[in-house]
Chains A and B, each alone.
Chain A
Amino acid sequence: DAKTTQPPSMDCAEGRAANLPCNHSTISGNEYVYWYRQIHSQGPQYIIHGLKNNETNEMASLIITEDRKSSTLILPHATLRDTAVYYCIVSHRGRDDKIIFGKGTRLHILP
């Protein structure tokens, strides 16, 4: 079972920042937080990951709370192409470790 909790769906206006929350209250000290998204009918796409510091890349920013029990993925200027299911995943980084996809958040970007 996935070890994260996400809202099933969210709406965001085009051009605004989309903030997607994730709860992972049972995360262990050496587990990373990963975010992926799946645009309709495509393979999942890796977005970003972090351990305890906030991270930013060309796609998004990841804000992890100090206690690491929750995080927020921020898409700074959402476009229609960001409409997708977003998955928050916690996982170790070992050879035997796997990422477990939950139900994710279906993000609708509204024109």
Chain B
Amino acid sequence: DTAVSQTPKYLVTQMGNDKSIKCEQNLGHDTMYWYKQDSKKFLKIMFSYNNKELIINETVPNRFSPKSPDKAHLNLHINSLELGDSAVYFCASSQVGAGEQFFGPGTRLTVL
């Protein structure tokens, strides 16, 4: 059983397009996260949600909008994609207050 799943695994798109990445966890966790890993392999947190409430919002362009319809899902919508958005995006989940986060397999986004 997949604990944290993301779709799609690969996403290739043109500059200026709008795209979404979906994340689901079946661990019963109440906190979910989005991370970005760039070409230099630095992994940086973007957002976290606890019970559908935005908790952490790092310095991320407002073209990025996370949406949490319920505590098992955290989707990432990106407007007006730019070349610099090319990266691998990871979703993760944990119980609140726990540093033990469980990561999804990642979505490799390529903006042409």
Interface residues of A (CB under 8 A from B): 32, 34, 38, 41-46, 49, 85, 89, 91, 93-101, 103
B99 near A49 with CB under 8 A, answer yes
Q: Are A44 and B43 in contact (CB under 8 A)?
A: yes
A101 x B31 contact (CB < 8 A): no
Q: Tell me which of A41, A95, A97, A101 contacts B44 (CB under 8 A).
A: A101
Of B11-19, B73-81, B100-108, the stretch lying at the interface with chain A is B100-108
Contact with B100, one of A38, A41, A49, A101 (Cβ below 8 angstroms):
A49
Closest chain B residue to A46, Cβ basis: B100
In the complex where A43-B106, A101-B44 touch, is A95 in contact with B99 (Cβ < 8 A)?
A: no
Residues of B within 8 A of A (CB): 4, 31, 41-45, 48, 50, 55-56, 90, 92, 96-106
* Chain B residue with Cβ nearest A96: B55
Say yes or no: A98 contacts B97, CB within 8 Å: no
A98 and B98 alpha carbons, distance in the complex (Å): 10
Q: Is the CB of A101 within 8 A of B48?
A: no
- When the two chains form their complex, are residues B99 and A93 in contact, meaning their CB atoms are under 8 A apart? yes
A98 with B45, Cβ < 8 A, contacts A43-B92, A44-B90, A93-B98 known: yes
Given A43-B90, A99-B99, 11 additional A-B pairs, CB 8 A: A32-B99, A34-B100, A43-B105, A43-B106, A44-B101, A44-B103, A93-B97, A95-B50, A96-B56, A98-B45, A99-B45
Contact of A98 (CB < 8 Å), options: B42, B56, B102: B56
Report the minimum CB–CB distance from B93 to chain A (whole Å).
11
Cross-chain contact A89 with B99 (CB below 8 angstroms): yes
The reply to whether A46 and B45 contact each other, CB–CB distance below 8 Å, is no
Contacts of B42 in A (CB 8 A): 101, 103
